[in-house]
Structure 1
Amino acid sequence: MSLETSLADGQIRYNPLFIDGSVHSRPDAETITISSASTTQIIGRVAAATINDADAAVAAARRAFDAPSGWAHWQPQERAAALRRLADQLTARSSETARLVSAQNGMPYSTAVAFEGNVPAGILQYYAALIEGSTTEETRAGATDRSTLVHRKPLGVIALILPWNFPQTLTFFKLAPALAAGNTVVIKPSSETLLDSGLLAEAIMAAGIPAGVINILPGGDDIGSYLVTHPGVDKVSFTGSTTVGREIASRAGSLLRPVTLELGGKSAAIILGDADLETHAEAMFTASLLNNGQTCFASTRILAPRRRYNEVVEFYGQLAAKAVIGDALNPATQIGPMVSEAHRRNVEGYIALGRAEGARLVTGGGRPDVGPGWFVEPTVFADVDNSAVIAQEEIFGPVLALIPYGDEAEAVRLANDSSYGLGGTVWSSDQEHALRVARQIQTGTIGINHYLPAPDAPYGGVKNSGMGRELGPEGLAQYQELHSIYL
């Protein structure tokens, strides 16, 4: 399968419906239209999977898992070698993957290269090394003269339901450990970002991954909903909104089906009194405005000490005002468009609400004159009360709320006064000082003077930000079940 561009209209036409090792054509199927976030023009059409396709994908994954010589029975070294081959194939397609993601969801191309182009292969390499260097069995000595053999087994068929903001990176947060553990998968990518799924299917075939081990279903919410309760699925892993995550948890819970949920966030950036703002300017931009603010872990609540509050307001106002806004495919762009017109309206609704709540608009608040795309100016509000809607609800756009605090005890209280707990940052010239503060924050992850998840460390949230962990050895364990054999 290769990407083919029609010279007549510039649209990319191919089908990422990938079941049992091959691409399936559906000439008469309902199509999903893919538009460029930067130009609003249609750039591709993808045939939507049907319920019958979902059944076929789950059946193929089950066969690949259950076969006596199937993926689950491969030695860790064999699976590791296959993961490395897939990593190599992704690397060979990294620039095209970055281009497609950037065109679809508005991610700045430089960000897409760093994340969508490079991170998936790195995660595969990490899990390949992990399973080669670990064992799936251990013998534990008991209190008596008997012992127990604890065996870690793959779960079976895993349904992966993905979002549009980091489509390939977040796919491999789930796919790499699921495969490493010996599971087979059915992937349901977001309908906003499907073109890159075709490249993934191409890489899977080129890497020689056995038929049925990975299946891809382009489709709408109906396909994801169907997979959640499909009798052939053994676990669901979902990244997306808290509202949808709750529904998935409820439906899976009634079946006693395990789930991993990576949901929303409203993370706090705590600026301590000794923080050097200029030194960390680039890291602060990344922590709060990465991918146009369309990032679940973004530190969008900025907590600043009152004695430096005006300085911090000025700093973040300039950080936003000086950001280069433009076409996502321009390598110089720092802030691209929102993923869709509907999402831009949602972000603009929050900006209007911030004004209505009495927050002071420092910069932004409108639409930049940079083209026809779904752009929103990076927006900074000051004098925000932590109870305000723009400080409590996830906006998922380039909107920052600056909140003053008195002492560090108040900073910790404000940071924890949130229904979310996914990410966060602490900024200080004294790492030990920052570490003491970071340990008090109720969140699954937090960074000191920067924020980026690491492949070898568990990533996930508390409270309304989800349940379970991805990445690290803990991420592998999410795709294994424990089998105790009493000797």
Structure 2
Amino acid sequence: MSPAKTTPKPAELAAEVRVPLDAAIADLQDGTRTWAALTIDQRARLLDRVRAAVVASADEWADAAALSKGLEPGHPLRGEEWMSGPYAALGGLDGYISSLKALARGTSPLEGVRISEAHGGRVRIEAFPASGMDRVLLSGFTGELWLEPGVTAAQARSEAGLGHLRATENTGVGLVLGAGNITSIPFLDVLYELIAENRVSILKVNPTQDAVLPVFERALAPLIELGLLRIVQGGGDVGAYLAQHPSIAHVHITGSALTFDAIVWGAGAEAERRRAADDPKLAVPITAELGGVSPIIVVPGTWTDADLKYQAEHVVTMRLHNSGHNCIAGQVVVLSSDWPQRDAFIAALETALHAAPERPVWYPRSEEKLDAAAAGYPDARWNADRTRAIVDLTAGGDATALQTTEYFSPVLGVVQVPGTGQEFLDNAVAYANDNLVGTLGANVLIDPATEALLGAGFERAIADLRYGGIAINTWTGVVFATPILSWGAFPGGTLQDVQSGLGVVHNTLLIDRVERSILRGPFRPFPRAVGDVVRSLSLSKGTVLPKPPWFVDAKTGASVGEGLTRWHMTHSVPRLVATLTQAMRS
């Protein structure tokens, strides 16, 4: 006979804090009826209003986010806040509007989208580029969603729409516990709850983003006015109170596995008792995106000096974007012990890490993470006033801490496994799957000649990677910023062992049973990419970008990041031409 389940009491809060929260949830309960009464066409037009509000708020959004992270006017990395804020938000809105308009016409969001077969008989939805302008702005990049084994193309088409296939269904009020690092995360999470899950939300903003809260209120004003959203502030006590509120039907969190476990199981002896009894503290369903330790698998080939330099800058970008405060920051570089260019690549990494623009390490408790890395790896090589480290374990050493600690700060590890070609790739995939904590995202760098030589073996190895987002010759952060793709952990997490989370977000085509998203980019920039196009007779290997604007060392990254966002805001052709001209000088 199993132990009786227990129902925890909501956290105690002072009346002046508790009463406004209760009132917000009561407003949202009315909002559920408002949302259920809207037609799909009306919902699409409501998102058009949200889009206009984002456009009106974009300058303030990017500026507030940059200043909150210590990036003063003129800082070369301020473009990050344009692209990871309003740029990503507009991409999500445009995708959802397109899908809702298709559903309102009585067609599937997959109408006109190419569907093919991926490794293992999986359905592959070739989602990106979705427009001609995508092909210009991100030339050489292609994105696809792989569905879970057993899902057919017919099922994918008929089930596309998710909650909007049951648009009049009332799914209650959800709680969104917002992320503290990237400003578009809470915005896009609220949209996914509303559009994909048919659920209104109360959003608790992470205290690190309090400075951006007024922007959220303006950008999301059309939803707030209809009672479809309420935004509140507070610490862990407020989050705990809301998660246990009897009128909350669902919880979504972006954060750490520790926070997830505290919500689901409690802390200390209570958590141990509840886990043993399989008696979660949380009484409602929960979805989550929780990060992890992300690999950067470098497949050995014959690289030029320019290749070594460019891809080293690429890896450093994966680590240093947002000062390393990303759940998807690349942390462990996996090299071949048999690659003749291994040492040259490590040297290029150190050079690129040292040369990248300096910036504050701003996220709370980051100093503790850096101190832990210094204590655990006294031979680590530091620069930028001891705020960046390379932990080179290719000569040996205990990799346990590097493999199991998400440093969430500028700590980059380097390890090695044996082999070349397919042997190395299989070894590297096994290493990532079996040794690194988390299943959110993996990065693979491979030159076109080596990829062609591996052929079907390469696709099989990619299928073997147990990660929800995979970036080939690009960074998984770009998967996040391309909301037509899904974002979330590889399927298989549970309440007892959550890994990198449960469920997905973004996914603007509203596809059910997504297993992973894969984004493929060009190995070389323009003009060197021209040779790859000629050799492969495939434009997919080429690009017009000399350096993507999200690279931390892109000379014009700030102006190009802002300019690309303004293109999405206004579709001004002269402004776009000026932005592309800037991009050619990056």
Fold-level similarity (TM above 0.5) = yes
Of 438, 446, 450, the residue aligned with 2:462 is: 438
Offset at residue 256 of structure 1 (A)? 4.8
The equivalent residue for 2:380 is 361
Report what 1:159 is aligned to: 175
2:256 matches 1:241: yes
1:264 aligns with 2:291: yes
Find the counterpart in structure 2 of residue 344 from structure 1: 367
Letter in 1 for 2:465: I
Structure 2, unpaired ranges of 5+:
1-12, 72-76, 109-153, 156-164, 267-278, 494-498, 514-586
Aligned twin of 2:100: 131
Using a 3 Å threshold, how does the CA distance of structure 1 residues 320 and 56 change in structure 2: closer, same or farther? same
Query: 2:26 and 2:325 mapped to 1: Cα distance?
Result: 35
2:462 pairs with 1:429: no
Amino acid at match of 2:469: T
Write out per-residue CA displacement over residues 129-188 of structure 1, whole angstroms, 9 at most, x where no aligned residue: 112213799999xxxxxxxxx74635221110012101x311123111222244211000
CA distance in structure 2 between the partners assigned to 1:104 and 1:438 by the alignment: 38
How far off its partner does 1:59 sit? Answer: 0.7
Measure the CA separation in 1 of the matches of 2:57 and 2:508. Answer: 27
Higher mean Cα deviation, 249-258 or 176-185?
249-258
1:401 pairs with 2:424: no
Conservation of the 8 A alpha-carbon contact between 2:488 and 2:504: yes
- In 1, the alpha carbon distance for the partners of 2:318 and 2:460 equals 20
Query: What per-residue deviation string (whole Å, max 9, x for no partner) do you get for residues 425-448 of structure 1?
Result: 010013454544322212111100
The alpha carbon displacement at 1:318 in A equals 1.1
Q: 1:456 aligns with which of 473, 481, 484?
A: 484
In structure 2, how many angstroms separate the alpha carbons of the residues matched to 1:467 and 1:474?
19
Which structure 2 residues correspond to residues 15-30 of structure 1 after superposition, within 5 A? none
Question: Is residue 204 of structure 2 the alignment partner of residue 188 of structure 1?
Answer: yes
How far apart are residue 94 of structure 1 and its match? 1.4
Match of 2:57 among 93, 101, 121: 93
Report the equivalent of 2:392: 382
Displacement after TM superposition at 1:262 (Å) = 0.3
Q: Distance in 2 between matches of 1:310 and 1:96?
A: 45
Q: What is the letter of the counterpart of residue 295 of structure 1?
A: N
CA contact (8 A) 1:351 1:399 kept: no
Q: Counterparts of 1:184-333 in structure 2 under 5 Å?
A: 184-205=200-221, 207=222, 210-250=225-265, 253=280, 256-274=283-301, 276-306=307-337, 307=339, 308-326=341-359
Distance 2:253 2:53 in 1: 25
Q: Which residue of 1 aligns with 2:276?
A: none
d(CA) in 1 for partners of 2:290 and 2:382?
29
Between the aligned partners of 1:120 and 1:477, the Cα distance in structure 2 is 22
How high is the sequence identity, in percent, across the aligned residues? 21
Partner of 1:77: 41
Closer/same/farther in 2, CA of residues 79 and 386 from structure 1, 3 Å limit: farther
- Alpha-carbon distance in 2 for matches of 1:215, 1:269: 39
Q: Is the 8 A contact 2:181 2:208 kept in 1?
A: no
State the secondary structure of the residue aligned to 2:333: strand
Q: Which amino acid aligns with 1:379?
A: A
User: For the Cα contact (< 8 Å) 1:91–1:118, is it kept in 2?
Assistant: no
Tell me if structure 2 keeps the 8 A contact 1:443–1:461: yes
Quote how far apart the aligned CAs of 1:222 are: 0.9
Q: Assess, with a 3 A threshold, how the Cα gap between structure 1 residues 255 and 244 changes in structure 2: closer, same or farther.
A: closer
Preserved contact between residue 137 and residue 151 of structure 1 (Cα < 8 Å): no
Unaligned runs of 5+ in 1: 1-28, 31-47, 141-149, 327-335, 369-375, 479-487
Contact 1:160 1:237 in 2 (8 A): yes
Do 2:92 and 2:508's aligned partners in 1 also have CA atoms closer than 8 Å?
A: no
User: 1:144 maps to which residue?
Assistant: none
How far the C-alpha of 1:314 sits from its partner, in A, is 0.8
2:380–2:392 Cα contact (<8 Å) kept: yes
Is the 1:184–1:214 Cα contact (8 Å) retained in structure 2? yes
Tell whether the 8 Å contact from 1:303 to 1:403 is kept in structure 2 after alignment.
yes
CA deviations on 1:218-263 (whole Å, 9 max, x unpaired) are: 1111111111121111111100011111233347955552211100
Q: Would the aligned equivalents of 1:105 and 1:192 in 2 still touch at CA under 8 Å? A: no
CA offsets per residue over residues 21-77 of structure 1, 9 Å max, x none?
xxxxxxxx99xxxxxxxxxxxxxxxxx9812221111111111113xxx12221111
- Indicate if the aligned counterparts of 2:251 and 2:286 stay in contact, CA closer than 8 A: yes
Tell me which amino acid in the other structure corresponds to 1:395: Y
Letter in 1 for 2:39: Q
Q: 1:382 to 1:208 in 2, by over 3 A?
A: closer
1:411 paired with 2:428, answer yes
The amino acid of 1:459's aligned partner reads: W
Assess if the C-alpha contact under 8 Å between 1:72 and 1:183 holds in 2: no
SS at match of 2:484: coil
Q: CA deviation at 1:298?
A: 1.3
**Greater per-residue helix proportion:** 2
Report SS of the residue matched to 2:27.
Answer: helix
The alignment partner of 2:414 has SS state of strand
Q: Deviations over 1:333-354 (max 9, x none)?
A: xxx32223x3323322223222
Alignment TM-score, normalising by the size of structure 2: 0.62
How many Å apart are 1:204 and its aligned residue? 3.0
> Would you say the 8 A contact 2:369–2:409 is kept in 1?
no
1:424 offset after TM fit, Å?
A: 1.1
Q: TM-score, normalised by structure 1?
A: 0.74
Q: CA RMSD in A?
A: 2.9
Kindly tell me the number of residue pairs found equivalent between the two proteins.
Answer: 396
Q: Which residue of 1 aligns with 2:540?
A: none
SS of the equivalent of 1:446 reads: strand
Check whether the contact 1:317–1:363 (CA below 8 A) recurs between aligned residues: no
How far is the alpha carbon of 1:282 from its aligned partner? 4.5
User: How big is the shift at 1:119?
Assistant: 1.2
Structure 1 residue 55 corresponds to structure 2 residue 82: no
Equivalent residue letter for 1:120: A
